[in-house]
Homo-oligomer: A and B are copies of this chain.
Amino acid sequence: MTDKKKPVVIIVGAGFGGLSAARALAGAEVEVVIVDQRNHHIFQPLLYQVATAGLSPAEIAGPIRSIVSDQKNVTVVLGRVTGVDTVARTVRVDNSVRAAKLRYDWLILATGARHAYFGNDHWEANAPGLKTIEDATAIRRRLLWAFERAEMTDDPAEREANLTMVVVGGGPTGVELAGSIAELAKAALAKDFRRIDPRKARVLLVEAGPRLLPSFPEGLSAAAKASLEQLGVTVRVNARVMDCGADAVVVGEERIPAATILWAAGVQASPAAGWLGVEADRAGRVKVGPDFSVPGCEGVFAVGDTAAIIDAAGVVVPGVAPAAKQAGRYVGDQIVRKLAGYAPLPAFRYRNYGNLATIGRHAAVADFGRIRLTGGLAWWLWGIAHIFFLIDFRNRIVVSLNWLWSYMTFGRGARLITGMSPARPVAVRQEESRPVDRAA
């Protein structure tokens, strides 16, 4: 708000891409405006831990305002973007106070993705996905209520349905969710119930393709499958989900009664392409040039899960946090150079420092190209990498210590059910007048 003559860079979305773009613009003679519909950045790679009661929301999320509070050229606007006028160069932002049009000189769209149901949007109510803190706490509520219902019911079929958890999708999120649910049931909850044995809960991981973790080398897929099976997870590959109902999932021909169905089978980019009126790929991502610029839209970039890009080496840049951070930094630097009149950066080149996926608390798989690790060593690497990441964005060692501690001690302190009981996912026979249990 200080100097009206400074160029304005609007960044939509305060995920990894947006925040790293903002950081790259620190010190630049620009006004940076971050627009987000939520007040917090989330460390998405650990979101599954919140969903499975291993961590609290505040342990993986930080208020955007405090993350950027020391960067004086940044203003944060809380609101939902509903459109972009690429001719007038304005972004339309709606919030609870008013609708505003913000003028930009440069626009960075880093709006991420939502889970996608590929034409079966009605499955969402029965098989929620995991992208936000609200998603995670809703899934946690659903999971914990299923155990409560299993404890309460006298009907063996209903008990079994409540003790069946199905995760759809064998990518990293699905693998991590399935492993973490199995550990929740087998370790954290094991002693908490009197009528059911939570260790008998059935966790099913369903993948349509021929193997888990398709973005990893085949050997690591096999290792991940073996580790999951050791935790008691049933893995089904080449298995296609035909329906996600209120009380059962249909896999191929088989109907599996299950109170908890979680969706980790695919994502769809945010509607950024629609705002711009430009071409998108099948997953809704904006097709960008080699420097993330959007063809035909002067001054507009798209990064992270919002963008489809092939890098200078011909590599399809994956939709992972490190790639989004690199993209944000690249675009921020590019704007700085253009403003300074320097030659633009060469085409983006993705640096793959390795891929990690964890399976429960004692195993992981890690792919560093030539070096591939599995088991306990990979798990420790995973832990250290995440602490490094967390400190990188929050700079608060207490957070990482806290989550690492509660994670390793199996504390599951975050096992709270807050908010309303979810709609009953299993059709329950009501026996209103029957006195049950201990009733006289």
Q: List residues of A whose CB falls within 8 A of some B CB.
A: 1, 8, 33, 38-40, 56-59, 61-63, 65-66, 69-70, 75-79, 88-90, 95-103, 133-134, 137, 144-145, 148-149, 152-153, 188-189, 191-195, 396, 398-399, 402, 405-406, 409, 411-419, 421, 424, 428, 430-432, 435-440
Is there contact, CB below 8 Å, between A103 and B413?
A: no
Complex Cα distance, B247 from A361, in Å, reads: 50
B416 near A89 with CB under 8 A, answer no
The reply to whether B191 and A418 contact each other, CB–CB distance below 8 Å, is no
B98 touches A430 (CB 8 A): yes
Contact residue among B153, B191, B416 (Cβ-Cβ distance under 8 Å from A40): B416
- Taking CB as reference atom, which chain B residue is nearest A430? B98
Shortest distance from the beta carbon of A430 to any chain B beta carbon, whole Å: 7
- Contact at A415–B57, with CB atoms within 8 Å? no
Residues of B within 8 A of A396 (CB): 411, 413
Which residue in B62, B134, B413, B439 is a CB contact (below 8 Å) of A58? B413
Q: A152-B95, A398-B402 are in contact. Are A100 and B137 (CB under 8 A)?
A: no
Question: For residue A99, which residues in chain B have a CB less than 8 angstroms away from its CB?
Answer: 432
State how many copies of this chain the complex holds: 2
Q: In the complex, what distance in Å separates the CA atom of A437 from the CA atom of B101?
A: 8
8 Å CB contact of A439 from B62, B101, B439, B440: B101
Contacts of A440 in B (CB 8 A): 88-90, 101, 103
Name the CB-closest residue of B to A38: B417
Cβ–Cβ < 8 Å partners of A415 in chain B? 39-40, 58, 63, 66
CB proximity of A391 to chain B, nearest CB, Å = 14
Contact residues in B for A419 (Cβ distance below 8 Å): 134
Q: Is the CB of B69 within 8 A of A191?
A: yes
B421 touches A63 (CB 8 A): no
Q: What 8 A-B pairs are tightest by C-beta distance, nearest first?
A: A65-B192, A58-B414, A56-B58, A69-B191, A101-B439, A97-B152, A39-B417, A63-B415
Instruction: Please tell me which one of the listed residues B90, B149, B399, B418 contacts residue A133 in the complex, with CB atoms under 8 A apart.
Output: B418
CA distance A440 to B8 in the complex (A): 12
Interface contact B103-A65, CB-CB below 8 Å = no
- Other than A58-B415, A78-B152, give 19 A-B pairs with Cβ distance below 8 A: A1-B194, A39-B144, A56-B58, A59-B413, A63-B415, A65-B193, A66-B188, A66-B192, A69-B192, A76-B192, A76-B194, A96-B149, A97-B153, A98-B428, A98-B430, A100-B436, A101-B435, A398-B409, A402-B402
